[in-house]
Homo-oligomer: A and B are copies of this chain.
Amino acid sequence: MAKPLTRADVTEMIVAAKIQKGLTWKEVAAKIGKSVEWSTAALLGQMQMTKEQAEAAGELFDLPQEAVKLLQVVPYKGSLPATPPTDPLIYRFYELVMVYGTTFKELIHEEFGDGIMSAIDFEMKLERLPDPKGDRVKITMSGKYLPYKSY
């Protein structure tokens, strides 16, 4: 009996096909019809796709029909093989949480009161910022403020 396909297998198939076909995430997102940030997260196994999005992905990456169905299911989220992440690029983001974590906390509480920035009702944008001293990565995040309530 063949081992059933999992979402993790689908992510691996997508990553492999993208490399072998020489596609870029921008081209992929254009076909999916959503932002490049969201589309990449979805194809890396972090978001649920609609039927249309999944079928577009299936065509682009030559995925079997079962894989197309799996893309329409809410995945078990978390994209890192281990934490703290060993990859230097991803570790820098982890480091930012360690160094600026209490600063985020103080400033959000000062501005909004007790509550959090949602990581669910959330979106982000990643851009290149040209700079004569060396180009910069610019990331803009926006998450809904959710207050704690007493009852």
Contact of A44 among B87, B103, B115, B146 (CB under 8 A): B103
* Interface assignment of A26: CB less than 8 Å from any CB of chain B: yes
Q: How many copies of this chain?
A: 10
Q: Which of chain B's residues have a CB closer than 8 A to the CB of A5?
A: 1, 16
Total number of A residues with any Cβ neighbor in B under 8 Å: 106
Query: Interface majority SS on A: helix, strand, loop or mixed?
Result: mixed
- Which B residue sits closest to A128, measured CB to CB? B111
Contact of A116 among B89, B100, B102, B150 (CB under 8 A): B89
* Interface assignment of A30: CB less than 8 Å from any CB of chain B: no
A150 and B38 alpha carbons, distance in the complex (Å) = 6
Q: Taking the nearest CB of chain B, how far is it from the CB of A91, in angstroms? A: 7
Asked if A79 meets B108 with Cβ closer than 8 Å, knowing A6-B12, A119-B88, A121-B149, the reply is: no
Q: Which of chain B's residues have a CB closer than 8 A to the CB of A113?
A: 48, 74
Are B38's CB and A16's CB within 8 A? no
Q: Which of chain B's residues have a CB closer than 8 A to the CB of A109?
A: 74, 89
